[in-house]
Amino acid sequence: MVSADRFLAFAAMSLLVIVIPGPSVLFVIGRALAHGRRTAVATAIGNVVGSYLLVVAVALGIGPLVERSVTVYLAVKLAGAAYLVYLGVQAFRHRKDLKASAIRATPAAPARGDLRTVLDGALVGVTNPKGVVFFAAVLPQFVDHPAGHVPLQMLLLGLVPISIGLVTDTLWGLTASAARTWFARSDRRLSLIGGAGGFTMVGLGLTVAVTGRAD
């Protein structure tokens, strides 16, 4: 259905786009610094779930609408940006709670459980402007229309960047959480790293809000 040439070409394109850190990567890093490895991994999983929802939207014909409509695009982008800022503020406000978690020798986890953390990541993934543009504008170019089954082709091709993203996002999160372990040896360092994670997410949210399409 999907030729090997198209599959490999799309995989190469996906890798080039994914290796450049975007909102999803920075979000995973921020969560890793603020809350530790468990939250980072759950966030990475949520990110790819949200990203694949974009693939499904494109396969069903919704993606082009988001890409072509300035109003819809801005609504999606600003919703994601606002949520990032909210999570960043929460992480900064509760940065001192990391001390108690370190004493218990467990990752500092927010009040929300693992499922909620995955949903947080999914929301960021599905509102990621970089993902919206990539899946709406690039993915359709690698579909073999004469072969038919276009939606199914898109769903299959979409698994390529999703798989790459899951591996790279998880590695970013684990690396950031490892650095956080060193900071945990000092209460002051721990508080600083919690604040840094919060500021990272706030800064990311503001960046997402002011960048992207201006048309």
Q: Report pLDDT for 201.
A: 65
Whole-number Cα distances in Å, 15 to 12, 103, 163: 5, 40, 10
| pLDDT tens string 51-98 | 999 999 888 877 556 556 667 667 766 776 777 677 778 767 766 655
pLDDT confidence band for 49 (50 / 70 / 90): very high
8 Å CB contact between 84 and 124 = yes
Find the distance separating the first CA and the last CA of the chain, reported in whole Å. 36
Q: Report pLDDT for 81.
A: 72
* 83: Cβ contacts below 8 Å, ≥ 6 apart: 120, 123, 124, 127, 205
Q: Evaluate if residue 6 carries a pLDDT over 80.
A: yes
Q: Report pLDDT for 63.
A: 57
| pLDDT tens string 94-127 | 666 554 444 333 444 444 578 888 998 898 888 8
Q: Report pLDDT for 7.
A: 85
**d(C-alpha 213, C-alpha 49), whole Å:** 24
| pLDDT tens string 121-178 | 898 888 877 777 678 767 877 888 788 888 888 899 999 999 999 999 999 889 888 8
| pLDDT tens string 170-207 | 998 898 888 776 665 666 665 666 666 677 767 767 77
Rounded average pLDDT over 10-16:
83
**SS3 readout for the chain:** CCCHHHHHHHHHHHHHHHCCCCHHHHHHHHHHHHHCHHHHHHHHHHHHHHHHHHHHHHHCCCHHHHHHCHHHHHHHHHHHHHHHHHHHHHHHHCCCHHHHHHHCCCCCCCCCCHHHHHHHHHHHHHCCHHHHHHHHHHHHHHCCHHHCCHHHHHHHHHHHHHHHHHHHHHHHHHHHHHHHHHHCCCHHHHHHHHHHHHHHHHHHHHHHHHCCCCC
8 Å CB contact between 134 and 17 = yes
